[in-house]
Amino acid sequence: MKERIKRLLGFGLIMWISLLGIQGRANPVAAPMTFYGSMTYGASQLMPAHFKKILDQRRDHLVAAANQFVTAQPTAGSIALVERIEARVQIIQQGLSQNVSFDNLVSEFGLLARLMADLEDPTPHAEAVSTATQLHHEFFALLEKKKAKLPTVFYGYDAALFQKRDLRLFLMGIAERSRLAGERLAGTYVNRGKVRAFADADDRSPAFGIAALYYSHTISDVANVWLYLWWQSFGDMRGTPFFDVAAKP
């Protein structure tokens, strides 16, 4: 029975993403975006219908907040960055509990998305600061050039959030994944402290693969946190596939 539920859940989520992809092509984003904006917009399209409508109506403010310069050189996986995310989550939770207008809250959702993107960033894991800086430059230049080819994927409802209700566990799992991705990136493109250029790498390169995973995981993880906040504030969850199954402890 459990295996059947897993298969149904996986199929339902795949169909959901496929339908979103069709909707995305029919209703393209009006204004050009950076990849931060693209990731934030992608996460907003994974929300339940009512929440999605709220975010869509305030899309410009949401995306502008995500594009803000939050950390000069984020130390991915650091407790300090995790704590900044937790603090932002608390601000949003308090606002939702006090029925603060979404006109005032939407920027907080955008800032949270940007902090999540910083946590997912694999480049600060290089041993030397100078190497990490060069990796960061190459990696994000590649993301900007390839953003039209990067996939929007929802990897499912994270058990750490929806079953264990443990935000710290969820965030530390992301930090560990970004550390491993950083090791792969540095192992491929760093030799004796020198970074081999990969900003123009093609779609078959390891760099593009890591960039695609970074982009898609960030969208999925931002969607998870936003959905968790909406759910915890008793938001309308109608139209969210198999959520009742996923949220059972």
Closest CA to 121 of 228, 220, 217: 217
The H-or-E segment that residue 190 falls in is strand 190-191
pLDDT at 143: 93
CB 152 within 8 A of CB 218: no
CB 116 within 8 A of CB 161: no
Fold of the 2-246 domain? P1 Nuclease (1.10.575)
Tokens found for residue 67: 């594009």
- Tens-place pLDDT, residues 78-106: 788 899 999 999 999 999 999 999 999 99
State if pTM tops 0.75.
yes
Give residue for tokens 């993880």.
221
Torsion of CA 161, 164, 167, 171, to 10 degrees: -80
- Tens-place pLDDT, residues 29-67: 343 468 899 999 999 999 999 999 999 999 999 999 998
- Tens-place pLDDT, residues 191-210: 888 999 999 999 999 999 99
pLDDT at 130: 77
Q: Which residues pair with 65 in a beta bridge?
A: none
Report the amino acid identity of residue 244. Answer: D
Has residue 238 got a pLDDT over 90?
no
- Tens-place pLDDT, residues 105-160: 999 999 999 999 999 999 887 767 778 889 999 999 999 999 889 888 899 999 99
- Tens-place pLDDT, residues 205-222: 999 999 999 999 999 999
